[in-house]
Structure 1
Amino acid sequence: MISIGLEGSANKLGVGIISHPPGKPAIILSNIRHTFVSPPGEGFLPKDTAKHHRSWVVRLVKQAMTEAGVKVSDVDCVCYTKGPGMGAPLQGVAIAARMLSLLWGKELVGVNHCVGHIEMGREITGAQNPVVLYVSGGNTQVIAYAEQRYRIFGEALDIAVGNCLDRFARTLRISNDPAPGYNIEQLAKKGKVLLDLPYAVKGMDCSFSGILASIDILAAELEANPQWKDPITGDTITTSDLCFSLQETVYAMLVEITERAMAHVGSKQVLIVGGVGSNERLQEMMGLMARDRGGNVFATDERFCIDNGIMIAHAGLLAYETGFTTPLEESTCTQRFRTDEVFVKWRD
């Protein structure tokens, strides 16, 4: 079976086409993405992002079909992101999916964005039954599978870790191209001074708004006093040190709650998914923890970590193969669609 997937829950518009040969690994036929990039110091507004998606979706679908070498008659279903995400961009992509469904005479399949990330991560890495750390601009969750649901064991109580990093990038007015979190990661690699920041872990939940407020205060202090020195080492504080300190603190929190979930469910595998999951330092820290527990960590590169259409095509096709479809009158989208609401019929 072959499916086409449309993803547009945030500023990335993705179109992917995937094939599921019987008894064999999935075959990725095409995976195309186009990103709406806002000016430095600004986030992406829903109306501007939605306009971007509407402008590009037809081009990307045509390009994906050409690259995959498939005809309309080869496609079995049209999959789209039902949620969670930003309202206006989600609506634009849902309308495009409905259009293709009616135009081509194909079944629609609404997909949970988070489940798409998890299933794509499992397919690419081969992780069997891992504890999942899902970290992105809009979501931070520690998840484990049980009885045909992806159970949420812990999550961010306020803002997501990716949102925390993105908003600090705005404070520093650094470029959003290719992504604010990526640019913070590059600056953090040059940092040496670890500044003291709030560390907010509550069981398997965590909080990032206080850390963001504290690092914003430090950034303002650095801007007012460029010769500001660390009172202990005497080193001059730089923007790179701020990025380094923020990364080390928030990723230590994520490693802690993931380890607690691993101990709780008795797992030795960790799968990191979501846009923030492509961060090399997070993968390194998680790997050290997993090795100490006699386990290992699974992660993918930016092709599959960052929002993409192929994950929607894959998760949608898994559901479609069990008989699931989304009637046209129910092909809505929602900003709030919990990971544990999805009945995972395709797993034991």
Structure 2
Amino acid sequence: MVLCLGLEGSANKLGIGVVCDGKVLSNVRHTYVAPPGQGFLPRDTAIHHQQHILDVLQAALDEAKVKPQELDCICFTKGPGMGAPLVAVAVVARTISQLWNKPLVAVNHCIGHIEMGRLVTGAKNPTVLYVSGGNTQVISYSNQRYHIFGETLDIAVGNCLDRFARLIKLSNDPSPGYNIEQLAKEGKRYIQLPYVVKGMDVSFSGLLSYIEDVGIKKMEKGACTAADLCYSLQETVFAMLVEITERAMAHCSSAEVLIVGGVGCNIRLQEMMGEMARERGAKLFATDDRYCIDNGAMIAQAGYELFRTGQFTKIEDSSCTQRFRTDEVLVTWRED
């Protein structure tokens, strides 16, 4: 029996969870919500994490009914993510590692999403669409690496949605993407937006600029509604993501597709990806907001896989990096 504690804080979600041999015992989360019309800044997010992390840690241990001395390792997010929040959580991980005399395991945030998705859904070897506020990647596994087949050339899809939500003054509670999804259901008119797919990569910054320059003016003149813009934005960006995912699946002869990351909670994205998968005779795997959105359990699960294959992190090597690529990690726990 291996008990792993996972600490996640790469963005505005502070999460701590406990996993035992692939079983989630606890998964506690506390979210920093910025005021309407604003994004979450690194300094404010780090202060939020510092203020709440000890309470979240205690809640995670209590929910799992686990004592510190029973843990086998302390897992934390090394990156990618926002610098200040990452460091705020890593400091606590290093501290309890030394206080409790437990080994440290540094985890790649993206790998955490993938391994949690595989655990929860039972997907064996899927093509992965990883979509969040900070990352947009199409990934497939081969030869002990998660290879990136395509990605965003500028901003992530979640960042695009968040910034659009600020333009139309949508609330950040519970999240901008969720509020866009709900408002999009009321949209009745599709507004033509730039569709930018370059080979296996996508670009969202020009689309966002077009909405700011043209779409908002149309809305102000009464030519369309905010709901129409939400609907049009979702349909456009999700079609782009489905296209590059299907191309990767064809290349890999894949019969499974897994959506992970915060944007992966979006039901419309799941519907579009599911339709594409069915046409290919493939199967879609997706999770709900317990595991799609950043959480501590996913870091514990990925850390468990690293721990059981002998990968540990020395204190002197436990620094954080905002740009920690998915394909940099040696995947020692999977067989080809």
What range is the shorter-chain TM-score in? over 0.9
Match of 1:233 in 2: none
Match of 1:123 in 2: 119
Indicate whether 1:197 and 2:197 are aligned.
no
Distance 1:279 1:326 in 2: 35
Indicate whether 1:163 and 2:159 are aligned.
yes
Q: Deviations over 1:204-263 (max 9, x none)?
A: 1010001111112234314531x32xxxxxxxx211000000000000000000000000
Q: Deviations over 1:178-213 (max 9, x none)?
A: 000000000001101111110000111010001111
For the residue of structure 2 that corresponds to 1:6, the secondary structure is strand
Q: Which amino acid aligns with 1:131?
A: T
Indicate whether 1:285 and 2:272 are aligned.
yes
Indicate whether 1:57 and 2:53 are aligned.
yes
Q: Which amino acid aligns with 1:14?
A: G
Distance 1:220 1:210 in 2: 14
Equivalent residue for 1:298, pick from 278, 282, 285: 285
Q: Which amino acid aligns with 1:51?
A: I
Question: Structure 1 stretches (4+) deviating beyond 3 angstroms?
Answer: none
For the residue of structure 2 that corresponds to 1:335, the secondary structure is coil
Equivalent residue for 1:185, pick from 171, 181, 185: 181
Aligned 8 A contact 1:152 1:339 in 2: yes
Q: Deviations over 1:126-185 (max 9, x none)?
A: 000000000000000000000000000000000000000000001011100000000000
Match of 1:23 in 2: none
Indicate whether 1:244 and 2:241 are aligned.
no
Match of 1:341 in 2: 328
Match of 1:318 in 2: 305
Residues 1-348 of structure 1 mapped to structure 2, 5 A cutoff? 1-20=2-21, 26-225=22-221, 227-228=222-223, 237-348=224-335
Aligned 8 A contact 1:6 1:97 in 2: yes
For the residue of structure 2 that corresponds to 1:52, the secondary structure is helix
Q: Deviations over 1:44-98 (max 9, x none)?
A: 0000000000001101111111111011121000000000000000000100100
Aligned residues: 334
Aligned 8 A contact 1:17 1:310 in 2: yes
Q: Deviations over 1:282-321 (max 9, x none)?
A: 0000000000000111000000000000000000011000
RMSD (CA atoms): 0.7
Distance 2:179 2:294 in 1: 17
Q: Percent identity?
A: 65
Distance 1:41 1:70 in 2: 40
Aligned 8 A contact 2:219 2:226 in 1: no
Contiguous gaps of at least 5 residues in structure 1: 21-25, 229-236
Q: Which amino acid aligns with 2:23?
A: I
TM-score (normalised: structure 2):
0.98
Contiguous gaps of at least 5 residues in structure 2: none
For the residue of structure 2 that corresponds to 1:40, the secondary structure is coil
